[in-house]
Structure formats: structure tokens, C-alpha cells
Structure 1
């Protein structure tokens, strides 16, 4: 039997219906107070972690703004040199994410996350002294290595604070910082370019210097302001902590929360994890393409460099707005796959328009449509893959796999836009990836639904009931009592 929470997130009653099984603890906490507790967590956690990711995405993608601010000329980024500089970031970024989430589990989040922020902030700051293509490559490699743990780490961190039926909206709010970074990056770059020549630095060097120093300052503050786990949260009362911890235990089906290597292997050996990786890659390629090449694409449509910086803002604003809207809708309906399919379809429409036109107006509208479609799918896929991985450790590894290996798609994003001003190769490649995402998402929805039905039949046949869930704590999502979100 499956269930869903009623519209009020704090409501204690459970509605049984065909669909996803969402567990809310039986508690004496009134629904109004429960809702207040979740809002309290939101206000304490989400603004800060969103700021951290805004800085992360800004620092990795500002190379696109620096490119049209004169970096290409000063560093002689001819042919595919810029593409290579954009691509090398993703190689260490991919391979460091799973180890980083394991280390986050072994250390405290308030230690690990600020530490890696300090590291990439220093790298970003020193990039202002790069004076050659080779130096830019080295800097981007170290930037990718240092940034690797932030996105999967915070996504995993959110899953440690919220029951899985509440996670899509929170991940969406957190990820929306990426779209804000895209918009803010254009505004910031436009202003910083006016520092051209000040202090002996070019405008693009000032972009790296200022944004890197801001990251270092915020990282130092994070050591003091970041909370670790609900059990140790000082901003919660004892009653509030008890309620949150109880909610998390019910949501996870009382599954294992400790570290064992077998939980890591459970994640690596699960074919569904790899399907989620490819699905995520299919939407991340256009996301990075939007971040890395939107200023250049807009400039190729005939706009000046300064206007291209400013016109790169609306696509990100639209993407931010719809990321939050879709995240909220996904949590309310307790559906994931259908929102991935709809978002990928809208993104395809945008890229098809871009492929078939060279006029500035329709081409720019296509960029807005594409961002509106692809950005919301990222948060939904992350909530989907994390929510369908049973146990804390497996969930952390699956999230890191999806984000880490999926980010190899950034290499593809870096090399497909080379044939301006029409960019048929780039747009066509992305259309193909979005189509693959739709196909794989449909397969996963079918498989999850089938597995849920098989487990329900098994429970009825073997007499397995909810009060036996402790016997299956180490089985993760293979437990007969675990239900997948569709």
C-alpha cells in the first residue's frame, strides 16, 4: 500500500492512495507546530547553502563572462583552446565527488564543506594572475578538484535534514542559486569590466579576483555558521529536535545511518544508479552549455559584448523561477519522472527553435525557453535519485555518482559549441541528449512502478508488516518495505 502526505507538510495524518508511499511519524506535535518547525529549518539552512552554491557555480562558469571581456585575446585562446579550458574542470570534478561525500560522512559537514570552499576560493583568486593558456588549464584543473565536493555534499546534506518527500522543493531552492549565479554573473561581469586597467589588471582578471575573494570570506564565515545534523542543531529546542529526528527515521524506514563499505558497493552495483547518472547527464549538458556559452551565443546573434553580458540574465532568471515552481509541484504531487520528461521536452523545443533560426529575436527567445525547460529537471532528478536510494551511506554515494559522473557531460558541453553563429552541432547534440533523457526516464518510471508492485505482493504473501522494518535496515532500497518514488 502506498501513501502520500496531505498538502500541509507538517500534517500528521497519512493518506493511502496508488502512487508513492510517504511516511510521516505519528506524533503529538500539532500540524501547525510541525509546519513551523520545517519553516524554521528552511530559514536556518537553505539561504546559507544556496549562497555557497551560488558562489560555486559563479566561480566555475565566470570563464564564460571572462572570455568575452577580453580573456580570449589576452591568452590567445584560438581554435578550441577555450573549449579545452572549460572542459578540463570536469575531469577532477567527476572523480573527486564520491570520495568527497564519503569524507563528508566521516568528518562533520561544518568542517569539510567550508574547507573545500577556502581551497577553491584561493584558486579562483589566483586565476587573476594567469598569463597563458597553459596556466589557465592548470588553474581550471585545481578549481575542479576543489569544487568537487560542494554540490553533491550539500545535496546529501539536505537529505540528512529533510524526509525524502520534502526534498525536491529544498533541492530546487538550493539549485536555483545556480540560475541566480548565471544572472548575477552577467550583471557583475558588466560592472567589473569597467575596472579595465585599474591596478594593472584587465577587466577579466578583476572578475576572477573579486569573485574569488568573496568566496574565501564566505567560506571562513561558514566554519562558524554551518550546522552539522538535526541531532546536534543548537537552533532547535529539544522537542523540535526529537520531532525532526523521528520524522527522518520514519521517512527512511529506520534504515542504516552508519558507515560500512558494503553500502558503498550497494550503490556502485545498482544498475538503477547508473541509469540515473545518464539521465542526469542528459540534462546537465544543456545546463552547462547555457552557463558557458550563452554570452557567446547572444554576442554571435549580433549584440555587443556589454549587451551580451546583460542579455544573458533573463534566461537564468526564468530558469530560477521555474526551478522553484517545479520543485514545489513535484513535492506536492509526489511525482518525479513526469517533471523530468516535461522539462526535457520544453528544453528540446527551445533548442529546436535555436537550431532552425539565425534571427536575433527568435534565437534569444530560444535561449530563454531552453533554460526554462532544462534547469528545473536537475533538482528533480537529484531528489529522485537520492530518495530512491535506501540508507544514508548508499544515498550519499548515489548522489555523488549522479552528480560526479554526470558532470562529465560538462566536457561534452565544452566542445559542441564551435560552429557559430548558428551552432548547429551544439544545438543538435543537446536535442539528442534531451531525447535520451526522456527515454531513460520513461524506463525508470516503469521499472520503479513494477518493483513497488512486486514488493507489495511479497509483503502480502509473506506477511511482512511495517513493525518488522528493523529486520531489513541494512538492505537499503531492496527491503520489501521500501517503496520507490515514481
Structure 2
């Protein structure tokens, strides 16, 4: 975490004249100190936030992604045959997760703010840990469908919740690397999941249970235990965080205000913030981009073990061969987060990184060579995983107002994850071993949604910034009070979008 503070993102900014005029910046608790002293204090504060927040949240998402995708590992260990299911029924079990998961995501950030993170996050973890464990005790298709529905419902709050939560702690240009490290846990879980599944599957027959049942049971119990520990490891928003001193809380709130962000205590829950999000074009372009990358992500992660196995490898070898693409994707995800923060650019990274995924799936679509197809899975992973966290950071950077941001992130992620339904059904058993249809659909998602949506968003934001710089939007604040101007959020003419 100390390495994060080498970035210019931690330097102290002075409030601009526009911020002072349009936004209430708290009193400076370090007034009178030299710039060097203030920068040292700021670096130490950000370092403390990183160590208190990031590692545990990464662990939670690693567990979350492992629990939602380990059904792909269970499949090649005999899940379908042992439960007497058809491939269509298996796909339905994948689909039902994304229905409940997506429907409840937009609501989750409101519940997170209402219940407080230190209560809400541990509670949903305990719930999905139980669902995961019970999946290992299913004896038929109906039982597995029910377990997957409730798993989606209980997991719905974590990913949008944590991204929203972190955006309330860090400046906009600091958020990318933290979101990337957080999401990199998904890539780690892909690597770790294959190794873990290969090891646990050797328990086949113990206590009369199949190897795939032990995968669900042991990983579910681990989630439950981590959920209990989270009551002590997850903290509230900056206004109420107990691990900060009153002076440190004042510093955090001031640095957010200097960045043009409202503190979480400045707003009450009002329907107007929901409507602001729904009427904002950025919400729906963000949803298009995230649809393109999230649909591709789930198709890739759910079926990678199957794709590799169909290339002619045994189930254990397929589990192990699924590890390297995820490991490399994890590294690139963090690097993209780091460089995007330093460059102050997010759209260009989305645009160029997405081309790796397009190339990977184009190769998979046309290849008949197992070796070439396996190499293409690396390109696919590299083109997908970094763009998840980069997209969420991009969306979050350009929405101001804690409830509007929470609503927007919930809508964008919820809509994107609803496309997991596509990922659950597009790789049909009858298309094995080359899965031309699945690869073609994912290629379309990446090209139109991720690449095309990113290009569209980039140029629309750039055009809007030009209008604000030339004063064309100043008319929006004529005759308004300071409080009314502050309530405009990212509609304030002095708020420039991150490209």
C-alpha cells in the first residue's frame, strides 16, 4: 500500500476560487503549516486509509467472485451428471443468479448508506455464506435453482456497495488504482479458484459427498467465517469512522471538498437524487459500456474451465490451466488503474485495452488449434478484467452527489450484471468444442458495448468540458444561491469531467 502514495494523487490541493464560491470547503485543520508538513500529513493519512480499507475489501470480493463462479469448476467435476440435470437446466442455474443479483443492485447502495457499511456488508456476507454452503447439499435441479437465486440476492450489495463506499473516501484521481486493486481480487479468485477446486475435488467420496459438493461447502463455510470477522474489519463512512481521530476525519472531509465532492453527511435520502441519475445521459452510456464488459466477463469466467477442457484436457488439468490467464489479467488490471490515475485519463485506456479482448475472441472464433485458442484466452482476459474497474472508476469520477453517485453506480453495475444472463446461456453444449456462437456474441459485446460505448462517452465528455471552459454553461447557475449551486453536483459549470 505504501507504493500507492508515490503517485501525485496524494499531493494537497488548494481550493480554487470557483470551489470556494460554489462549494462549502471545511476549515483547514492544518492551517499555518508549511507545504512540506501538510504533504507529509496527507501522505500518512492516505496510507492509513489504504491499509485500513483496501486489503480486507479485496478479500471480501475475492470470496464473493469465487462463490459466484465456482459452479463452473463444479461442472467439470460432475455436477450435472450427479444431479441428473440437462445442460439447459445448468444454464438456467447460472441465469437465475444474475436475475436476483441485478435486480437488487440499484437498491443496495441506498441500504448501505442507511444501515452503515460495518453492519450491512457483514450481514450480507453471512447470508451468502449460508447460501453457498447449502448449494453443496442440493440433491436436484430445483434445490440448486433456489440456492443460486438467494446467492444472487445476498451478493448483490457487495460490488456496487464497495465501489460507492471507496468513492466516498478518496479523491477522483486516487480512486482508479484502489478500484483496480479491489477488482483484481476477481482475477485472483479465478486463479485461486482453479487451484482450490483441483485440491478440494480430491475429497470426492469423503462422508458420502461428491468432490463438487465439498467445493461449495468448504468455500461457503469460509465465507461465513470471514463475514463474522467483518463486523470488526469493515468501517463506516468518513464522517463516522471510528479508526480515525476527530482531526483525521476533518482532514478527510476537507480533502474531499477540495476535490469538489460532498461529504456523506451533507445529503439526506431524497427521490430527486434518483431522478437526477435516471435523467443523466452519462448513466446510460456508462451502462452500455459496463454491459459490454460485464457480459463478456461472466461468459469468460463461467465457461473458461469448460472451454479449456473441451480443447482436450482432463478436468484437473483444465482447472490448473485456467490459472495463468487470470494471473496475468490481475497484473494488468492494477497497472491500468495506476497509469490511468497518473494520466488523468480513463476513456483512452478503456478504448485501447478493449482491443486486446476483441482480438482474443476473434482468434477464438476462427481458431481450430488448441494451442492458439489457449493463447487467445490470455488476450481475452487481458481485454476484459482491467476495463471493469476502469469503467466503474470512470463513471464514479463523473457523478457528484453521494446519493446520485450511489444510484448511478447501482444502475450501471446492475444493468451490466443483468447481461450475465447472456453469459450463462451463450455457450451451449451442442456447440462444443469450438463454441462459435458464444465467442461471436461476446465479440459483439466487446466491440459495440465496451469499445464503441467508450469512444462515444469519451467524445461526449470532451465536448461538454469544452463548453464549460468557454463559459457556455454559466447560465445554469444564474440567480442561484450557493446551496442551490452545490446541489447541482456534476452539473456545476466548474465541475470538469474526467476523460
Query: TM-score interval w.r.t. the shorter chain?
Result: over 0.9
The question of 1:94 aligning with 2:102 is answered yes
Q: Could you tell me the TM-score, scaled by structure 2's length?
A: 0.91
Q: Paired residue for 2:491?
A: 478
Q: Paired residue for 1:77?
A: 85
**SS state of the match for residue 69, structure 1?**
coil
Structure 1 distance, partners of 2:152, 2:477, is: 47
The question of 1:141 aligning with 2:141 is answered no
The structural deviation recorded for 1:147 is 0.6
Q: Paired residue for 1:455?
A: 468
Of 429, 432, 435, which residue of structure 2 is paired with 1:420? 432
Task: Describe the shift of the 1:14–1:438 C-alpha distance in structure 2 as closer, same or farther (beyond 3 A).
Answer: farther
Q: Could you tell me the TM-score, scaled by structure 1's length?
A: 0.93
Of 327, 330, 347, which residue of structure 2 is paired with 1:317? 327
Cα deviations across residues 406-454 of structure 1 (Å, max 9, x unaligned)? 1011000111111111111111111111111211211111111111122
Is the contact made by 1:459 and 1:481 (CA closer than 8 Å) also made in structure 2? no
| RMSD, aligned CA | 2.3
Q: Paired residue for 1:355?
A: 365
**SS state of the match for residue 485, structure 2?**
helix
The structural deviation recorded for 1:125 is 0.5
Is the contact made by 2:9 and 2:341 (CA closer than 8 Å) also made in structure 1? no
The question of 1:110 aligning with 2:118 is answered yes
Structure 1 distance, partners of 2:492, 2:15, is: 22
- Within 5 Å, which residues of 2 pair with 1:178-327? 178-254=186-262, 256-327=266-337
Of 379, 389, 399, which residue of structure 2 is paired with 1:379? 389
The structural deviation recorded for 1:197 is 0.5
The structural deviation recorded for 1:404 is 0.8
Structure 1 distance, partners of 2:185, 2:262, is: 32
Structure 1 distance, partners of 2:333, 2:55, is: 16
Cα deviations across residues 99-150 of structure 1 (Å, max 9, x unaligned)? 1111111111111111111111101111111111121111111111111011
Of 53, 58, 64, which residue of structure 1 is paired with 2:72? 64
Is the contact made by 1:161 and 1:248 (CA closer than 8 Å) also made in structure 2? yes
The structural deviation recorded for 1:6 is 11
Structure 2 distance, partners of 1:254, 1:186, is: 42
Structure 1 distance, partners of 2:367, 2:460, is: 39
How many residues align? The count is 475
Is the contact made by 1:127 and 1:205 (CA closer than 8 Å) also made in structure 2? yes
Q: Paired residue for 2:11?
A: 11
Q: Paired residue for 1:390?
A: 400
Q: Paired residue for 2:19?
A: none
Cα deviations across residues 239-285 of structure 1 (Å, max 9, x unaligned)? 32222111112223547533211111111222220111111010112
Structure 2 distance, partners of 1:293, 1:336, is: 29
**SS state of the match for residue 345, structure 2?**
coil
* Structure 1 residue runs without a partner (length 5+): 17-22
Structure 1 distance, partners of 2:473, 2:417, is: 41
The structural deviation recorded for 1:328 is 0.6
Of 457, 470, 486, which residue of structure 2 is paired with 1:444? 457
Cα deviations across residues 175-213 of structure 1 (Å, max 9, x unaligned)? 011111111110110000110000111000000000000
Task: Describe the shift of the 1:460–1:275 C-alpha distance in structure 2 as closer, same or farther (beyond 3 A).
Answer: closer
Structure 2 distance, partners of 1:68, 1:33, is: 53
Structure 2 distance, partners of 1:461, 1:280, is: 31
Q: Paired residue for 1:20?
A: none
Judge which range, 112-121 or 74-83, deviates more.
Answer: 74-83
Structure 1 distance, partners of 2:231, 2:129, is: 14
